[in-house]
Every structure is written in structure tokens, then in C-alpha cells.
Amino acid sequence: MTETLLVTITGPDRPGVTTRLLGALAPSGFPVLDIEQVVIRGHLVLGLLLSVDDASADARSQAVAAVSAAATELGVQCDVQPGNVEVGSRHPDRLLVTVMGQPLCPAGLTAVAGAIAERGGNIDRIVRVASYPVTALELEVSGADHDDLRQALARVASDSGVDLSVQHPGLTRRGSRLVVMDVDSTLIQDEVIELIAAHADCQEAVAEVTTRAMAGEIDFAESLHERVALLAGVPVEALDAVRQKVRLTPGARTLCRTLHHLGFRVALVSGGFHEVVDAIAAELGVENVRANRLEVVDGILTGRTLGPVVDRAAKAAALEEFAAMYQIPLARTVAIGDGANDLDMLARAGLGIAFNAKPVVRDQADTAVNVPYLDSVLFLLGIPREEIESAEPCPVESDD
């Protein structure tokens, strides 16, 4: 055990406060074991842990007197507490818990903190990573088991309406990663097949099958054949009109641009169609697309698809293929989706994110995002708001 002094300073912040306080302690020569400082609304909170092993009682009192005098002069509060710590005793099982809400209220945070404490976890540190358009906090937690805490927090998330993720910190969160996204109702707000169906006057029939397929009630491949058959006779020009109608999910551009800016790889894996998805990918600078193809004969949709169907299994296989192509380990992959056909891909990825997902998907994914902004996924990846803004070409986006 090492003998320590814990110095806590609180009060109005201004340039030079930290320098002056540390300067007052400099003559003591006491080693700094830890220091954390935060400024909220101009109010400073500074915690400083000094080792005082081998220091005489006189030297300690002199240091306390010096820092107290400096604090008085600066008009801030100073509290000094003696104690002991085991140096280097950081808990081996550290976890990062990201909490997001719009707004984030004390009740939600209480539920999160309560669940962590009940599982023997301690919150060592809280850092705000975003204040707009959602409030996002990153909690460093020690002493809790990953799976146990993830399950407990999944319940908190569904009860309290905050979005939560639990991840292992460290290397898997750093360096280049691969992000694979579903398209319909994830990257875009629409289901493309329903937009095409509007041109065949069979929108309701198609929508009904889509809903059952996305909820996992019927096999995806079978549902796709059934729905595409209803599109027989639609002229191929209708696809141009559909491409114009597609609405990106708010935050989609910011997400793609920031990921590219940070050197991440991005791919779209869709149960929809190349004929529409390729244009969306090009607009967002996404190079890789895996989707179905519609058969066209004499300028008319035949009601059949070409080649293998991109179903639930094919989506997971595509994730693995793209990861292998970029030599990115699966632990460093992120999959985002909303439907039952995304489940295998979400399970296979290092981090599977259910985005405004159907209940069956939300219950099984690593983490669920329920705020309607796709770029809030960035906060789960530990990318703070400031870095996102630094990737933006102009201060505010018009369409996100």
C-alpha cells in the first residue's frame, strides 16, 4: 500500500488555475499517481492523487498549506484527504458502458448505475461523448462480468428507454474497422420493394409480406420470391422514380462520411436490389454492396430475381467476406440492421447494433439504438461529437 494525499479542487474555472495549483505543490516533489479534471459550465472539478510515501509530516503539512493558500487566492475550494491505495491495482475486467438518450434523464441514469452496482460493478469514470443530437456518456466500469451486465442493461434499456451498449475497451475499439449496414429501414427510411410495388398497384400486398418477413414469421427467401412475383410487369423506368423517392435516415451521410474520414471500411448488405442500392452507395461513397438483382426482359420486370438470394445467411456470409477482403478480424467488425434477416450478421459481428429494430432483433443484438439518428452509432464506437464535426465539410448538414 502506498500512502497518499487526495486533493480535490472545486470552483470557478479560468485560465491558469490548474497551473497555479500544481505549481504550489511542485516544491514538495510528491509523485502524481492520478489526476482528473473536468469543467462543466465553467465550474472546475479537479482531483489529484499524490504519493506521500517516505515524506515527513512537515513536508506533508507544507504541501497542504501551499495548495490551500493557492486555492484561497484563486477563489476555489480545496479539500485534502490522506489515505492509502494499492498502486497498479486497476481491475483486470474493465468494461465500457455507453449510455445514450434524447433527453437523458436522472431516472434512466439511476437505473443504469443501479444495475451496475447490483452486479458488483463500480463506475470509475464518466465522460460525456456527445451532447447533440443525443446526450451520450461513456462509463468506465470495473468488477462486473460482460455478459451478465449486458443482459441486465438490456432490460434497463427496454424499461427506461435509454440506449445502452457494453463493450470491452482496448485494441478492438481502435484502428480500422469494418461497418456493414442493412439498407431498408436502416440506412434509408423506406422499404425499396414497397416503393417499387407502388408502380404495380400491389403496395399493400407486398407490405404485408415484408412485415411478416422482418418480424421473422416467414422465411426471407420465400417472402422475397413471393413479393418480387407481384412486381411482374413493372417497367424498368419505374426504378428511376424509386431511386428519386428513397429517403436517407437522418444521420446517414454524417455516419458514412465520418467512418470514411477515420479510415473505416463501409459496406451495404441488403435484401433489396442492386438496381436501387447501388445509387445510394455511390451517393454516400460506399464501395461495397451485396444485394439481390431483379430480372428484366424487354424493359419489364419479370417477377423473378437473378442469382443467389441475399437472405439471412447470405448477409452474415457477406460480412465475413468483406472482413476477409480487408483483412479485418471479425472482432473489429460492426453490423447494423433492423430486421430478422439481419440477425445472423449482427450475431457474427464484433458489435451487432439493432437500429430502431423489430422487437425480435432488439432482444438478440449486442446493443440497440432507438433514437432515430444513424450517426449516434458513432458514439457507441467511442467517436466523440467533436471528431464527427471535424469530418464535416460544412458546419451543419442540410439533409441530415
Smallest distance, Mg ion to C-beta of residue 183, A: 7
Minimum distance of Mg ion from residue 101's CB (angstroms): 24
Q: How many Å apart are CA 266 and CA 332, to the nearest integer?
A: 12
Q: How far is CA 5 from the centre of its chain?
A: 37
Q: Quick one: 136 or 246, whose CB is closer to Mg ion? A: 246
Catalytic residue among 163, 184, 342, 366: 184
| 203 C-beta neighbours (distance < 10 Å), count | 16
Residue 392: phi and psi, rounded to 5, are: -85, 135
C-alpha cell at 224: 422475397
Strands ordered across the beta sheet of 351-355? 300-306, 288-297, 265-273, 178-181, 333-337, 351-355, 367-369
* E-only strand ranges, the chain: 2-12, 32-40, 43-51, 77-85, 94-101, 122-130, 135-142, 163-167, 178-181, 265-273, 288-297, 300-306, 333-337, 351-355, 367-369
Grid cell for residue 354: 439493432
Whichever of 108 and 271 has its CB closer to Mg ion, that residue is 271
The one-letter amino acid at 162: V
**Residue 30 per-residue DSSP state:** P
Compute the 3-state secondary structure of the chain and give helix, strand, coil in percent, each to the nearest 5: 40, 30, 30
Task: Give the three cell numbers for residue 285.
Answer: 461513397
Question: Which CB sits closer to Mg ion, 340 or 388?
Answer: 340
Picking from 359, 321, 378, the residue whose alpha carbon sits closest to that of residue 136 is 378
Q: Which is nearer to Mg ion, 21 or 317 (CB)?
A: 317
Residue closer to Mg ion by CB (options 70, 206) is: 206
Catalytic residue of the set 13, 163, 182, 338: 182
Instruction: Specify the DSSP element, H or E, that contains 165.
Output: strand 163-167
- Nearest distance from C-beta of residue 244 to Mg ion, angstroms: 20
Residue 275 C-beta: closest distance to Mg ion, Å: 17
Min dist CB 251 to Mg ion, Å, is: 16
Nearest distance, CB of residue 88 and Mg ion, angstroms: 47
Helices 238-245 and 274-284: crossing angle in degrees, nearest 10, is 40
Alpha helices in 215-364, H assignment, sequence order: 220-229, 238-245, 252-261, 274-284, 312-325, 343-348, 359-362
In whole angstroms, the minimum distance from the beta carbon of 184 to Mg ion comes to 4
Q: How far is the CB of 225 from Mg ion (least distance, A)?
A: 18
Nearer to Mg ion, 185 or 258 (CB): 185
User: Residue 118 is inside which H or E element, if any?
Assistant: helix 106-118
Which CB, 312 or 385, lies closer to Mg ion?
A: 312
**What DSSP designation does 210 have?**
H
* Secondary structure tally for the chain: helices H, strands E: 15, 15
* CB nearer to Mg ion: pick between 7 and 343: 343
The Cα 215–Cα 231 span in angstroms is 22
Report the candidate in 292, 291, 192 with the shortest Cα–Cα distance to residue 246.
192
**Where do contacts with Mg ion occur on this chain (CB under 5 A)?**
182, 184-186, 338-339
In the numeric block, which cell numbers belong to residue 229? 412475383
Contact 181, 284 (CB under 8 A): no
182 is catalytic: yes
Looking at the annotation, which residues are catalytic?
A: 182, 184
